[in-house]
Structure 1
Amino acid sequence: MKSSIYPLFTRQRFVALAFACSAGWHASAQTVRPDSVEVPYGRQAAWMVTGAVSSVQGNELKKTFNTNLGNTLYGRLPGLTVQAGSSENGVNTPGMVIRGVGTFGAADTKVLVLVDGFESTFAQLVPDEVESITILKDAAAVALYGSRGANGVMLVTTKKGVKGALKVGFGVQYGFNKPIALPKNLRSYDYATLYNEALQNDGKAPMYTNSDLEAYRSGNDPYFHPDVNWYDQILRKAAPMSNYNLTFNGGNETVRYFVALNALTSQGLLIKAGDKEEESSNSKFQRYNFRTNVDINITQKLTAAIRLGGTVEDKANPAGNTTANLFGLAASIPSNAFPVYLPDGSFGGNALYANPLGNVLQTGSYTSNGRTLQGSLRLTQQLDFITPGLSVSGALALNTYFNSYSNKSKQYERFSISRNSNGDTVITRFGQKTSLAGDESRSDQWRNYALQGFLNYDRSFGIHNISAMLMYNQDSYSISGNNLPYKHINGGARITYAYDERYIAEVNMSYMGSENFPKGKRFGYFPAFSAGWIASNENFLKENKVISFLKLRASYGLTGNDLIGGPRFMFDQLFPFGASPYFGTGNNGTAGIYEGTPANPDVTWEKETKTNLGLEATFIERISFNLDVFSNRRRHILAQPFFTVPQYVGVDLPFLNVGKVDNKGLEAVIAYHNAADAKVQWFVEGNAAYAKNKIVYNAEAVQEDTYLYRTGHPAGQPFGLQAIGFFKDAADINASPRQTFTSVQPGDIKYKDQNGDNIIDQNDVNAIGNSYLPTLTYGLHAGVKFRGFDLDVFFQGVSGSTVTLGNQFYAFQNNRSAPEMAKDRWTPATAASATYPRLSSANNLNNYRFSSFWQRDGSYLKLRSLELGYSLPKQTLSRIKLTSARIFINGNNLFSVDDIAGDLDPETLGIGYPALRTFSAGFRIEL
């Protein structure tokens, strides 16, 4: 589909179209501003919020049918960049960063995720149990999280009961997944033809005769001249998935409850191996979610909030705990290497490669069972008898995760078939058949607990509004195999003052400590200051009929990141055991220890100052607009001081807090909706976020040429050779700088001499392309509703990133297959139009270096979701005694507009589980 629409709608035109409609969007379909907003450790009236936050409602996430909640967030929250990982069920958690990256090296950019106020995973949750997801982006919003807030914070709030009669909701959704794109390798005839050419280019005799080529072309000799597409052998055309959801909601003045039960099943793309071989298994994924959220008024002044949720997750695969190795094998094998089966029904194979189908059917089964539990209890006591608006609360939470594995594996025989010089058939065996062996020794486990206490004050005195909070938090996180838990202790305060709903001032502060730093230096102070001005409440704008709402806000503060990378407790000097030296004439080693990397007694967390300016506006009650501009300056990043201490001193250099990164950007949000009483209701919304960082200092070693420095470039900037075309002929080679990697021929890649020394070597490596992380992310959301019918469309895209074609695109290297793009290789006849270097049968050390030749623009625009639904009218609902009923059809990842040729997906260019396109249909009813 991509190639058919590309000439008419280029990526650039789509981006222009998106911004012709808007500069950006709010992530939900609610263009009306909310009354209150989720903030650290509570909620706050929206007009009083002076920090930078973005939210999306859980109901919006239902439009993306996926087994991982993280994959429903693409483009939904301005400032949040979601990057695809594997699409395989159970290991498909995407990467996420908020407002780009502010560090480098081994430091972690992980977003701090809190579920109902406590640190936990959220990937296993389902949209039906989620009320909202909010990201906190500036200092005013994250200061209370101290040394854990610099990378941004995500607040996941689950649904709670609402006072009223019992409401029962039930939903069913069925669908199936299909691969968006699979690697396209040469079929046997083309492979053999081009391999002969590669041999000739290397000065060697051809391997395949004309009769061989004809046999490959005609396909009349499938055993001795096979032509196998291994993806067709191991994959289904489509894999079904289903989702069942049941909820109960209601309550009275005393007790309010929300209960959810969910069952999700998704079968993998692999063939149903368990149906064919008893000792194998079908690829499948099942997860069962439960949640019980109860709010109780114990007395008139004392309330309790109970949150309890969990999952049980079962996963099964043939050939491995994940499919990564299997997909890598299928992409590597030349299509003519061996047949799937030999005439006697045994599996084909050779010394280099196993049989992918044999691996699926004959290597056993791999299963896992994971369990999560999230539980918390919060008590709140009103202290009005002391002063109105005062309350105290305390909370205790426990989150656990356990995953056990049961691997039953075996080996199988495979055989190659060939003819000798006499024409006799020769069968050679590889591998050995073994019985099934079980292994249940592996498991993964973690748990964390947290204890919180709050003193809150919220009161109005005429035109004065005061809100204040004191908080205490301590948490402990333990991982199996790690003897010492990770711990934090944090105290904080927030004070907000508003005058006449026009002027707002707020101070946030926290004092946090971690066990990972030296005694006396474990705690740090993190203040933030913010202010807001609601100009639309001034007299000179109150009567304005165009500007319905106008608010300006600003914030500045200090945050931290204690995920600094490097070894734990690096303030301790270690003396590890080293290699055993040999002394004297004996052959016995003498054990010894050596001085490890020098300790850093002053090691500390990364510190970041965040500055944010924001504007919120609503025009004619229908157009809303938000704009945020930010500047983040992070310091104390770990780096080894190569700039000041040369490597020839002979010791490993310590990691010191000397690195610096600046990160700047902006976010824009705009939305429009027509009148609520119009016969045809519609809305259009958009969002855009831009963030670009720069390494200010990283203590790198002195370089002879300035272009070799990483300083001044973004974190993650690729460095490689700059390709400037192909060598035309021998004269061109002789007239060009000498490339030292190997001898070159016409058609080989030609590189730029960066330093002018007439030699191409590693000193000519420089910044090429962009980082893997896009600088621009955007979304476009539109919907229309008419007479019960509704249509919802959501586009998402990125720009400013570079992706790299990996070794699966290197033709014939390491005895592997060759991609379809190798057909466009350089030859004397195609020199003017060639887009691929000359072919070589050996590992070409010149052409397959990391260079700009193998880079591609990673920008794309995708139709992430399209949903058409119909809701029954009220008259029909009353007759069948339902509150609501809706049927729908849905599609996800329907097409992509990008610059990647060959129907490849820019998000998943590496070997592995392919990106998926999903189609589904379902219904939801409420009693």
Structure 2
Amino acid sequence: MNSRSRFNFYFPVLVACFVFVCCFMCSNSVYAQVQHQITGTVVDDHGDPVIGATISVSGKALAVTDLDGAFHVSANPGAKLSVSYIGFKPKNFIAKVGGMRISLSSDVNQIQEVQVVGYGVQKKVTVTGAVSSVSGSQLAETPTGSINNMLAGAVTGLSSVQVSGEPGSDAATIYIRGKGTFNSSGQSPLLEVDGVERSFNDLNPNDIESITVLKDASATAVYGVRGANGVILVTTKRGKEGKAKVSFSTNWSVVAPSKPLKLANSYEYATFRNMRDLYDFTPTATNPTFTPIFSDAVINAFKTHSNPILYPDLNWVDFILDKTSLQTQHNMNISGGTKTARYFVSVGAFTQDGMFNKLTQPYDNNYSYQRFNYRANLDLDVTSSTTLSMNLSGIVSNKRNPRGSQGPTGFFKNLYYATPFSSPGIIDGKYVVFDGTSSWLPFQGATGSNYYGVGYDKESVNTLSVDMILNQKLDFITKGLSFKLKGSYNSSFSSTKDCTQGLPTYTPVVTTNTDGTQNIAYKMNGSLDVMSYSETYGKGRNWYMDASINYDHNFGLNHIGALLLYNQSKTYYPGSFSSIPTGYVGLVGRLAYDWNNRYMAEFDFGYNGSENFAKNRRFGKFPAVSIGWVFTDEPWLKPITKIVSFGKLRVTYGVVGNDKIGGKRFMYLPDPYYVNNSSLLNRGGYAYDFGTSGAIQNAAYEASRNNPNVTWEKAHKQNYGIDLRFFKDRLGTTLDYYVEHRDHILLYDQTAPDLIGFTLPAANLGKVKSWGYELSISWNDRIGNDIRYNIGLNFSNNENKILEEKEAPQDYAYQMA
């Protein structure tokens, strides 16, 4: 069949299809003309209007209810419509002519929403402590590799300070409600991942389900001697019943300095230097005339760039640093499971490049960081009442940085201090320096460190964490009773390879020809050394276990929750006194009661201790009490619920501790002494020279004074909070005010006179008062059925005052006047 015959065959068919489509469109047009106005009102369980509910058909939004919950749409009688709103279950209904009344039921899942708390979970509506949380999905949207940096601004009461941008070492320092102590080693909060103390800085953010911040005594009392600075709980994702779900994400980011400094060039530097010296010059008999350090000829050479080798003008920042660096993050996970077995498996890769330009070194000493994360969380229902869970995770990281004792802070200081005329930089592959200018060069610097010609360090770290959890329901004893047993093991191994290779530098040597022209040759200083290697190793491990009895049951409108937990941990190679492990042992309790989710009362306590203190001061009791009231559930306040959909008042008080008191371990032991004349002489000559002429006699020297009464810091905390939600939960706000009195802060008494002959021992004498408030505001709404948005604002104000520091008496300026 040729093309013309095929056209003649299909042409009638095409015409028929065209006519059919036109008729179909016309019929729809005629059909639309007979649609009716469907009106109605949407109300909640109590008969109050629901403002802002979306009326839709087949997923397409038609209208939104007004302030009276009323709506009107154009639809055919009998059409299937749906109504939805945040906090309520969506509902389908059949369009009818005349006023309709649609009643929405509250979403029970939202009412029963749980909040992660210390050693368990609670219904969010009954939580009485100062607790804030953020979902892992929110954090994963932030393009940074450190969880510490992601938390900045995400949670009220949490502040972070980032002091370095070095790849692999750029994590911010975190504080909760400011610094409650002037003891610098004991200001950080306790960090836990899946209920075990671990660092979370290098976690894969895509593995995180939520992060919870516990701030007041009611929330942290169960951690006892470790809860004074707050607690951060990280919960990782777990599998859910259903088909396997595979997720992949990738992120590429460009990192650049936020605000580069503008540096003076050689001409500007020389001009300003001469001007400063002139203004500071005072004529004397021996020096009556001012002589500038830079002559007019030198300044002119700087200005005209007539001799860039002998009179260079080099911007060291542009010469050494690149404008940008690359950061990448790739993640893949798979989750799913059956009714009896559920799994979550993930892998992630993260890289950070440095910002140094490659010069002429035969090796790469630029900063770089690579990290590989892996995780497998498994839940297995052995029986209908027994669940066995396992968490396996690890991190493999590699980090490279230039060698040198000054570190990145010192290097960048020298980089900005370097004068633009101190060196022309790299000339024909040679690093050119001038005699006597090394202290002005960022490569060498006054500290002797040398970015260009020393080498690099490469550190590899491998960590592994394993958790085993057994949950056993004991409903056969009494309903709501359960038992939980957890064991955890964590290990870390690191190796650091020091790669050293010296590189030569070159000094320009100028010779003058007979015609007055100049030749420049270079004298080599040093030589190209053979690369040398050395390697050091580090390791550490710890284990943790806890066993708990839990009770959670409702008696009509009464609900009781209780927890009794025993825990123990030990850490090997902790650093200071690394051959002696550190350990904790403790008992935890919680008793919570609420009536109809309206009136709440809770008692928490921690009883734990550490071997760092004397036996009679090793354990401490840390209680806390709290109450709460959901006042919007009161019948006599029902009229205000049209505006205030939820309101809760909270009050807490308790005492928590901090055993990170600074100083050395085992300060309760007897005073140490140095014995032996040679060691004494090395420590200042505390030996005796008597008897035989010229002979030094052995002696004993008291090294330091210890204190058997040393104990932990104690923080007495009060918190007053209110939670409010308006306009059917679209607008939410939380306000907390707190006061903390911390005492027993370790310090050295400076008030004793020097004539006593030795330094007084450390004692728990310091006191600090802290106070402040926190405010969070959020707006949560949707546009149609497909678009949901959330706007949030967090504000915190933390203040403190040192009440007692035992500083030495001194005369202030106003007293001396």
TM-score interval, normalised by the smaller of the two chains: 0.7 to 0.9
Q: Does 1:556 align with 2:663?
A: no
Highest RCO, 1 vs 2 (Cα 8 Å, sep ≥ 6): 1
Shift of 1:444: 3.5
Shift of 1:77: 0.6
Structure 1 residues 270 and 34: alpha-carbon distance in aligned structure 2, compared to 1, 3 A threshold = farther
Aligned equivalents of 1:587 and 1:202: distance in 2?
56
The match for 2:461 is 370
Cα distance in 2 for partners of 1:484, 1:350 equals 52
> Does the 8 A contact of 1:342 with 1:348 survive in 2?
no
Aligned to 1:779: none
Aligned AA (1:333): A
**Mapping 1:207-222, distance limit 5 Å:** 207-222=293-308
Point out the more displaced range, 246-255 or 536-545. Answer: 536-545
1:461 to 2:560 alignment = no
C-alpha separation in 2, matches of 1:693 and 1:290:
42
Q: For 2:136 and 2:429, how far apart are their aligned partners in 1?
A: 56
> More displaced, 619-628 or 341-350?
341-350
Q: Is the 8 A contact 1:251 1:257 kept in 2?
A: yes
Give the match for residue 296 of structure 1. 380
2:534 equivalent to 1:439: yes
Amino acid at match of 2:750: F
Spell out the pairing of 1:350-499 with structure 2 (5 A cutoff): 350-351=435-436, 352-353=438-439, 356=442, 359-417=450-508, 430-431=525-526, 433-441=528-536, 443-479=537-573, 482-499=578-595
Counterpart for residue 433 of structure 2: 348
Distance (whole Å) between structure 2 residues aligned to residue 491 and residue 65 of structure 1 = 40
**Residues 483 and 551 of structure 1: CA distance in aligned 2, closer, same or farther (over 3 Å):** same
Separation in 2, partners of 1:476, 1:179? 42
Question: Quick one: which of 119, 126, 140 aligns to 2:204?
Answer: 126
Q: Is 1:83 equivalent to 2:161 in the alignment?
A: yes
8 Å Cα contact 1:67-1:89 kept in structure 2: no
Alignment check: 8 A CA contact 1:350 1:414 kept: no
In the alignment, structure 1 residue 158 sits paired with structure 2 residue 252: no
The verdict on how the C-alpha distance between 1:346 and 1:591 changes in structure 2, with shifts beyond 3 A counting, is: farther
3-state DSSP of counterpart to 2:539:
strand
Cα distance change of structure 1 residues 35 and 190 upon mapping to structure 2, 3 Å threshold: same
Q: Give the letter for the 2:666 counterpart.
A: F
Q: 1:630 to 1:280 in 2, by over 3 A?
A: same
Question: Which residue matches 1:594?
Answer: 701
Q: 1:498 to 1:177 in 2, by over 3 A?
A: same
> What are the within-5 Å matches in structure 2 for residues 160-175 of structure 1?
160-175=238-253
Contact 2:574 2:581 in 1 (8 A): no
Tell me whether 1:259 sits opposite 2:356 in the alignment: no
Cα separation, partners in 2 of 1:134 and 1:208, compared to 1, 3 Å: same
Q: Is the 8 A contact 1:139 1:556 kept in 2?
A: yes
Instruction: Report the alpha carbon displacement of residue 403 of structure 1 after superposing the two structures with TM.
Output: 2.1
1:165 to 1:345, Cα distance in 2 relative to 1, 3 A: same
1:54 Cα offset (Å): 0.5
The residue aligned with 1:575 is 673
Q: Does 1:656 align with 2:742?
A: no
Partner of 1:313: 397
Number of the residue aligned with 1:35: 113
Q: C-alpha separation between the residues in 2 aligned to 1:80 and 1:405?
A: 34
Secondary structure of the 1:453 match is strand
**How many Å apart are 1:185 and its aligned residue?**
2.9
Residues 1:71 and 2:149 aligned together: yes
Note the C-alpha offset of 1:468. 0.3
- Code of the aligned partner of 2:770: N
Question: CA shift at 1:678, angstroms?
Answer: 6.6
Task: Give 1:187-206 correspondences, 5 Å limit.
Answer: 187-200=265-278, 201-202=280-281, 205-206=291-292
Q: Per the alignment, do residues 117 and 337 of structure 1 end up closer, same or farther by CA in structure 2, a change over 3 Å counting?
A: same
Per the TM alignment, residue 679 of structure 1 is displaced from its structure 2 partner at its CA by 7.5
How far apart, CA to CA, are the structure 2 residues paired with 1:696 and 1:109? Answer: 17
Letter in 2 for 1:615: I
Alpha-carbon shift at residue 449 of structure 1 (Å): 1.2
Mean Cα deviation higher: 51-60 or 682-691: 682-691
Q: Give the percent of matched residue pairs that are identical in Structure 1 and Structure 2.
A: 34
CA–CA distance in structure 2, aligned partners of residues 558 and 283 of structure 1:
45
* TM-aligned CA deviation for residue 228 of structure 1: 0.9
Q: How does 1:626-705 map to 2 (within 5 A)?
A: 626-643=734-751, 645-675=752-782, 677=784, 681-705=788-812
DSSP 3-state at the match of 1:50: coil
Number of residue pairs matched? 677
Helix, strand or coil for the counterpart of 2:803? strand
Superposition deviation, residue 343 in structure 1? 6.2
SS at match of 2:755: helix
How far apart are the structure 1 equivalents of 2:665 and 2:398? 33
Contact 2:422 2:441 in 1 (8 A): no
Note if contact 2:417-2:440 (Cα within 8 Å) is conserved in structure 1: no
SS at match of 1:145: helix
Mapping of 1:736-775 within 5 angstroms? 754-755=814-815, 757=817
Q: Quick one: structure 1 residues 329 and 641, their matched pair in 2 at CA, closer, same or farther if it must change by over 3 Å?
A: closer
Where structure 2 has 5 or more consecutive residues not aligned to the other structure, the ranges are: 1-85, 88-109, 283-289, 445-449
Match of 1:625 among 721, 733, 736: 733
The aligned runs of 1:268-307 (5 Å cut-off) are 268-272=354-358, 277-307=361-391
For residues 459 and 480 of structure 1, the distance between their equivalents in structure 2, rounded to whole angstroms, comes to: 42
State the secondary structure of the residue aligned to 1:617: strand
Once the two structures are TM-superposed, the CA of residue 180 in structure 1 deviates from its matched residue by 1.4
Aligned pairs for 1:703-742 within 5 A:
703-705=810-812
2:701 counterpart SS class? coil
Pick one of 98, 101, 109 that aligns with 2:176.
98
| CA distance in structure 2 between the partners assigned to 1:480 and 1:490 by the alignment | 20
- What SS does the aligned partner of 1:440 have? strand
CA deviations over 1:260-318 (Å, ceiling 9, x no partner): 11011221111246xx5443344321111101011110111111111111111111234
Measured at CA, do residues 259 and 654 of structure 1 come closer, stay the same or move farther in structure 2, by a change above 3 Å?
A: same
Equivalent position amino acid for 2:260 in 1: L
Hey, what's the Cα distance between the residues in 2 that align with 1:593 and 1:91?
44
TM-score, normalising length: structure 2: 0.79
The residue aligned with 2:313 is 227
Distance 1:239 1:42, change over 3 A: same
Candidates 328, 331, 342, aligned match of 2:416:
331
Stretches of structure 1 that go unaligned for 5 or more consecutive residues are 1-29, 706-752, 758-927
CA drift at 1:48: 1.4
1:180-191 matches, within 5 Å, as 180-191=258-269
- Which residue identity does 2:372 align to in structure 1? Y
- Three-state SS of the structure 2 residue aligned to 1:564 is coil
Partner residue, 1:896: none
- Residue 331 of structure 2 is aligned to residue 245 of structure 1: yes
Confirm or deny: 8 A CA contact 2:470 2:485 kept in the other structure. Answer: yes
8 Å contact 1:143–1:509 — kept in the other structure? yes
Indicate if the aligned counterparts of 2:372 and 2:397 stay in contact, CA closer than 8 A.
yes
Alpha-carbon shift at residue 533 of structure 1 (Å): 0.8
1:527 maps to 2:641: no
Give CA deviations for 1:773-817 in whole Å, capped at 9, x if unaligned. Answer: xxxxxxxxxxxxxxxxxxxxxxxxxxxxxxxxxxxxxxxxxxxxx
Q: Which residue of 2 aligns with 1:3?
A: none
Structure 1 stretch displaced more, 195-204 or 379-388: 195-204
**Aligned equivalents of 2:695 and 2:571: distance in 1?**
44
Deviation at 1:604, TM superposition (A): 0.4
2: CA distance between counterparts of 1:342 and 1:378?
64
AA in 2 matched with 1:259: V
